[in-house]
């Protein structure tokens, strides 16, 4: 039957509502999870479509942020599995990294792509590894990328369960800490507005457990004075 693809061309980035979303040089589309089976060929399931499928099913705002290169400097999505291995999907500027880490957080598979000016995902042979060996063949990166996202979809990596945890980090600008994943936050708040009038005369700060709302705008405003601090709700 083949893998069924579903168009999401009607969706727009909140920051660019008049522009179509570009995924791998084409329109935004995802795979229907039920059409992805263990024995199904991955001809139609590219790494880009697979990543979009996982992030969209986990949280659409996370997919928006992943594809919103203009607004977010870096993006990291991590799923920790019951055996303490991790699936990771990340982006810094226009460079994508994804793969599997062991319980000691060493990469077992690390696959990298560079997003070109046309939006196409180009396999990055300088940043891809299988265990401790470099992958220098773009076709091998492509094959392993398809296999990786297929495994994520088969595992329904967007779902949670016993001893399963999802973590999400974002940065709107480069951090002083080169090894930081960014700021942990709730992706549902990425593009929400906040009513600042109720906090007039008070400095807003981040809730340690809930993340943040419109962090780019709040950082740009900065904290003025030493007024009473309150958490953004």
CB-CB contact of 24 with 6 (8 Å): no
pTM: 0.82
Reported as a pLDDT band with limits 50, 70 and 90, residue 177 is low
Q: Distance (Å, rounded) from C-alpha 28 to C-alpha 68?
A: 13
Per-residue pLDDT at 128 exceeds 90:
yes
Q: How many CB atoms lie within 10 A of CB 228?
A: 9
Reported as a pLDDT band with limits 50, 70 and 90, residue 43 is confident
Task: Work out the percent of the chain whose per-residue pLDDT is above 70.
Answer: 79
| Ramachandran sector of residue 187 (left: φ over 0; alpha: ψ -120 to 50; beta: rest) | alpha
Per-residue pLDDT at 160 exceeds 90:
yes
| Ramachandran sector of residue 156 (left: φ over 0; alpha: ψ -120 to 50; beta: rest) | left
Residue with tokens 């590894």, as numbered in its chain: 129
Q: What is the H or E stretch that residue 49 is in?
A: helix 47-58
Q: How many CB atoms lie within 10 A of CB 2?
A: 10
* CA 196 remoteness from chain centre: 28
**pLDDT (mean) for 42-54:** 95
Q: Would you list the DSSP string of 141-174?
A: HHHHHHHHHHHHHHTTTT---TT-EEEEEEESS-
Per-residue pLDDT at 19 exceeds 90:
yes
């Amino acid at each position: 039957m083949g893998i069924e693809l579903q168009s999401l061309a009607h969706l727009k980035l909140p920051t660019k509502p008049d522009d179509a979303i570009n995924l791998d040089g084409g329109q935004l589309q995802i795979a229907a999870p039920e059409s992805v089976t263990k024995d199904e060929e991955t001809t139609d399931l590219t790494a880009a479509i697979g990543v979009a499928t996982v992030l969209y099913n986990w949280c659409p705002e996370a997919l928006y942020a992943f594809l919103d290169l203009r607004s977010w400097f870096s993006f990291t999505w991590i799923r920790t599995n019951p055996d303490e291995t991790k699936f990771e999907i990340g982006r810094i500027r226009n460079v994508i990294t994804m793969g599997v880490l062991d319980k000691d957080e060493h990469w077992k598979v690390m696959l990298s792509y560079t997003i070109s000016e046309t939006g196409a995902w180009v396999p990055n042979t300088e940043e891809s590894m299988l265990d401790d060996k470099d992958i220098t063949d773009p076709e091998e990166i492509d094959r392993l990328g398809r296999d990786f996202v297929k495994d994520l979809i088969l595992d329904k990596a967007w779902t949670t369960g016993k001893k399963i945890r999802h973590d999400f980090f974002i940065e709107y600008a480069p951090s002083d800490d080169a090894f930081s994943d960014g700021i942990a936050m709730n992706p549902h708040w990425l593009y929400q507005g906040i009513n600042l009038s109720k906090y007039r005369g008070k400095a807003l700060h981040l809730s340690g457990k809930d993340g943040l709302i419109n962090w780019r705008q709040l950082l740009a405003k900065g904290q003025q004075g030493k007024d009473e601090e309150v958490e953004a709700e």
